[in-house]
Amino acid sequence: MEDNAVEEPELSGAAEFAPALVAAHPHGNSVAVAIGPELRVFDLRAGHPVSLSDDCGGHSHSDAIRAICFSVSGALFASAGDDKLVKVWKTDSWRCIQTITSEKRVSAVVISNDDLYVSFADKFGVVWLVTLREDSAEQVSVDNKPVSILGHYCSIITSMKFSPDGRFIATADRDFKIRVSHYSQRIL
């Protein structure tokens, strides 16, 4: 009897695909979708796609986007990923106001409740914090240096959230650990 087993194609290297990500504006204004390195935004009120404007001294993402989020106010949006970039966008114009460079790939991102800080986690489980600045409506701010605020010690963080009162930051990692850490703006 012959063995008619179907052979699966061999994948060269460790093929890992980024998941499709979806984030909805907190007031229902828009929805953002990230697939691979592409970020697409749809204006729900006007009923059409939005054009993104990235004047931050670089291109849009060049590798898989791993994390996206709207701020609580809905005024800001962040995208981050394997290209080691965190991009912060103003949602009224969908203009990139800041690009932050990480030393490692980024796995999670969150904007503080007061829209003054962006926090992101790298692939080694270190959580970083950066002050958001926009010098003027015409001028885009320069890259700030991230400050390390905590770590999960070599475990990839998959999700981060600020508490409603802004006093704590909760992080979850791939090793099923959840941490709630005191968040203080005095560290910057």
- Is 173 among the domain residues? yes
- State the total domains in the chain: 1
- Per DSSP bridges, beta strands 65-70 and 147-151 are unpaired
Q: What is the pLDDT of residues 162-180, one digit of tens each?
A: 998 888 888 888 888 888 8
- Per DSSP bridges, beta strands 76-81 and 65-70 are antiparallel
Q: What's the rounded Cα separation, in Å, for the pair 37 and 63?
A: 5
Structural domain including 53 reads 21-187
> pTM higher than 0.85 for the full model?
no
- Is 11 among the domain residues? no
Place of tokens 């001294």: 57
- Is 13 among the domain residues? no
Backbone angle region of 98, left / alpha / beta, with phi > 0 → left and psi within -120 to 50 → alpha: beta
Place of tokens 């030393």: 103
Residues ≥6 apart with Cβ < 8 Å to 76:
70, 88, 89, 90, 91, 97, 111, 115, 132
- Is 14 among the domain residues? no
- Is 148 among the domain residues? yes
- Is 86 among the domain residues? yes
Handedness of CA 174, 99, 150, 117 (dihedral sign): negative
Q: What is the pLDDT of residues 84-143, one digit of tens each?
A: 999 999 999 999 999 999 999 999 999 999 999 999 999 888 899 999 876 544 444 444
| CATH at 52 | 2.130.10.10
- Is 1 among the domain residues? no
